[in-house]
Chains A and B, each alone.
Chain A
Amino acid sequence: MIRIIRFLDGYVHVQLTGYAPERFLNLCRSRHILLWDLQPSGQGYGFYISIRSFRRLKPLLRKTGTKVHITEKRGLFPLAFRYRKHKFFLVGIAAACGILISFSGFIWDVEINGNSRFSDQTLLGYLEEQGAGYGSLKNRLDCEKLESDIRKDYPDIIWVSVKIQGTRLIVDVQEAAGAKEDGDAQTKGTDLIADYDGTVESIVTRSGTPCVKKGDMVKKGDILVSGCLELFDDFGSVTGYEYCHADADVLISLDLPYEDVFPAKDTRYKATGRTRRRIGLDAGSWRMSIGLRKNKFEVYDQITSLEQVRFGKNFYLPLKLEMTRIRELVPYEHTYSEEEIQALAGERLELYCRKLEEKNFEIKGKNVKINAGEKEISVKGNLEALEKAEKTGNTEIRTQKKEEGQEENGIDTGNNGNSS
């Protein structure tokens, strides 16, 4: 920072010679004239001094009988003076400064933190609608209004902070913890339903009425845990129903058929070693590139990386640096060996199992057989899996008639009991 200030102010390197240079240094000190990088050289000293302070040295030089000789000029003004005849160079510097200053008045990057329910795209789209997107003017943005608009339009966002740092708009949000409570849970409920045919391996119920027990065979569509809770009186008769969202860990063991077919030959690509590179600048609709223009390779792969140009951490510019590398390839046929077939079949089976695990299946065992033909390879077998039931359906609402009847019966019995 000090260096930048010194550069803007302008400074010179001077050579001090004469009768009493030390006295000169002490006078500088007492008059608060700052010197830096003081080094002895020859008969005197060399040091740096700002142009402003240099103008104050005359009386001190007269007093001490010393002389100064400027050896180097540094800073913005000396530089401008040196290049005063190179008009276009100065115009270029001025234009670059002007462009940078004008670019600094816009938003060139939007960062959203803390969102999980609302995607970045959703919030970016919303900000765009509100006129606070990429390329919007900074002084037209009202952060406080934007905060209140976000809170109003997204009730699930309980806290939001919008701030501008450099050319970045930073939006920090905090979403309401947990899902919104359903107000109609008392009158509506959900059942947990079997998604596949199988056997119940284990059942742990947290809310709802379990309808199956361990070892039961279930079919697709059977209710595993009901969302209807029966309310009993002291005599064991049902007085009413309450509804809730059935919540339970029900593991169903089942056999899943597995079948996979893939060709015995594969087209592979080998790099020839010839590559071409392209560097480009991308500014929205305008694009400039250095390197190759036309790609003459017939078969190739291409890797392009885009990086937004920025100064420091927060000063983003509306320019993207594009680096492209194109590699020439030659295709060739490859027949799988026995080991490769086994490895590939295993890999594909693993991938299939992983997809099943993402769908709440736990794979307990694999029983598959590989049939290698000349043209294609088929893999068939069974997978023993445990499925965690997650499918839900609306609970059937039972009428209260039965309940009223029960109550009446209850009163009757009571009366009978008293009379007898």
Chain B
Amino acid sequence: MVQHLELPKDLLLGAVLIHVTGQSEMEVENYRGILFYSRERVRLSVKEGQLEVTGQDLNIEYYSNDNMKITGCIRQISYLM
């Protein structure tokens, strides 16, 4: 139905929204919580499962109820079902 009505999925389905700027910056919206955080790995809980970001010198610049910003050298973004 969402597809037929051309409605934004992130609003209606609560899907995670990721903006990546180059290799050094990413913004995540619609996440549920932080599961694990180290310099090399950030694991987030999202509606579809888990989202894992791996890299070097990862830093959570800020995080709020709606979005978070991760900076550092991003190598991989993967979904863990």
Contact = CB atoms under 8 A, between A and B. Distances in A.
* Interface range on chain B (Cβ under 8 Å from partner): 10 to 19
Interface residues of A, number: 14
Contacts of B37: 22, 25, 38, 40, 45
Contacts of B77: none
Interface in B15-72: 33-39, 59-65
Given A25-B34, A26-B34, A36 B59 contact: no
Interface of B is mostly: strand
A25 B62 CA distance: 12
Nearest to B60: A38
A22 B59 contact: no
A37 B63 contact: no
A37 B33 contact: no
B36 A22 contact: yes
A136 interface: no
Contacts of B60: 37-39
Contacts of A25: 33-34, 37, 63
A55 B37 CA distance: 25
Contact of B65 (A22, A32, A37): A32
Given A29-B65, A30-B65, A32-B64, A39 B59 contact: yes
Interface in A32-47: 32, 34-40, 45
Contacts of B65: 29-30, 32
Contact of A36 (B33, B36, B38, B61): B61
B16 to A, nearest CB: 15
A61 B37 CA distance: 19
18 contacts: A22-B36, A25-B33, A25-B37, A26-B33, A29-B33, A29-B64, A32-B64, A32-B65, A34-B62, A34-B64, A37-B59, A38-B37, A38-B61, A38-B63, A39-B39, A39-B59, A40-B38, A45-B37
Interface of A: 22, 25-26, 29-30, 32, 34-40, 45
